[in-house]
Amino acid sequence: MGVRKNQQNLTAEEKARLVEAILSLKGAGTYDIFVRQHIERFNGDSDSGTRIGHRSPSFLPWHRKYLIEFERALQAVDASVSLPYWDWTTAGTRSTLWATDFMGPDGSRTQNGRVTSGPFTGTDWPLTVRSDSAGFLRRSFGSSGVPLPTARDVQTVLAIRTYDTAPWNSTSSGSFRNNLEGFRGVNLHNRVHVWVNGTMAGAGSPNDPVFWLHHCHVDKLWSDWQAAHGSANYLPVSGTADVVDIDEAMQPWGDVTPRDMVDHSAIYTYG
């Protein structure tokens, strides 16, 4: 069982091992499989049709499974590696997250947001599977004018007692899931993608390795909410068209259901 730490508490060696494992997956072609999987799922989800990974109750269990599979791929390279989380309420533009020996810095405003230093540049990080025309990692911190969420924003979302509500899509109100995902109300998850901007703003967002640290924090917030409100209260339970009920399988994993993803404690914990 691994412990997922706040990235601010990683040692220099832990950061280096994570970066090397990510680069190893990229070099082997495994990383791009995960990117393609996200693009296909993102493009396949819609408010008025089938929705599994986004705009739906299974946004959180789908991404939990996605993170687990990516973490297992990293651990096949280096068993000591666990995914850390990026708490964007305390770590903004000046965070050590963006150091050139870790996730790398903001992009160049004169080069279409291109990240020009750090591990994920040049021939080590070509974007061969992507959702836009740029074959390189791009960032543009805060250029959208949308700020990162605050601790108060997080507490507001964690206080919502109902996991999700009909019509189970981006218009659902009074929904913890939808406020966390970011289509209604406080807007946490989507706001961070837009703040980083560039590569993170599209369907190919996993091409930016900070995607995994961001989604680890989203997963941690779900875990915190479960601890406060009960872990087994995923909705909907049954008989709902176009979305994944608690005991229905989530594609592309075939037999993995939201219920299977409710309790992560046997696989990892947050420290």
What pLDDT is stored for residue 97 in this prediction?
98
User: For the chain, how big is the Rg over CA atoms in Å?
Assistant: 18
Whether the CB-CB separation of 120 and 213 falls below 8 Å is answered with no
The neighbouring-strand residues paired with 4 are 270
Q: How far apart are CA 80 and CA 120, in angstroms?
A: 21
Nearest to 118 by CA among 149, 135, 140, 96: 96
What pLDDT is stored for residue 207 in this prediction?
98
Which pairs from 22-29 meet CB under 8 Å and 24+ separation? 22/74, 22/119, 22/120, 22/209, 23/119, 23/124, 23/125, 24/77, 24/78, 25/73, 25/74, 25/77, 26/124, 26/125, 27/124
> Phi/psi zone of residue 105: left (φ > 0), alpha (ψ -120 to 50 degrees), beta?
beta
Apex CA 57: angle with CA 53 and CA 62, to 5°?
35
Q: How far is CA 111 from the centre of its chain?
A: 26
pTM, two decimals, is 0.97
What pLDDT is stored for residue 186 in this prediction?
84
What pLDDT is stored for residue 42 in this prediction?
96
Q: Is-cis flag, bond preceding 206, omega within 30?
A: no
What pLDDT is stored for residue 104 in this prediction?
98
What pLDDT is stored for residue 219 in this prediction?
98
What pLDDT is stored for residue 231 in this prediction?
77
What's the average pLDDT block by block, 10 residues per block, for the chain (271 residues)?
A: 94 98 98 98 95 98 98 98 97 95 97 97 96 95 95 97 97 96 89 97 97 98 96 91 97 95 96 91
Give the pair of three-digit tokens for residue 228: 């406060």
Whether the CB-CB separation of 89 and 158 falls below 8 Å is answered with no
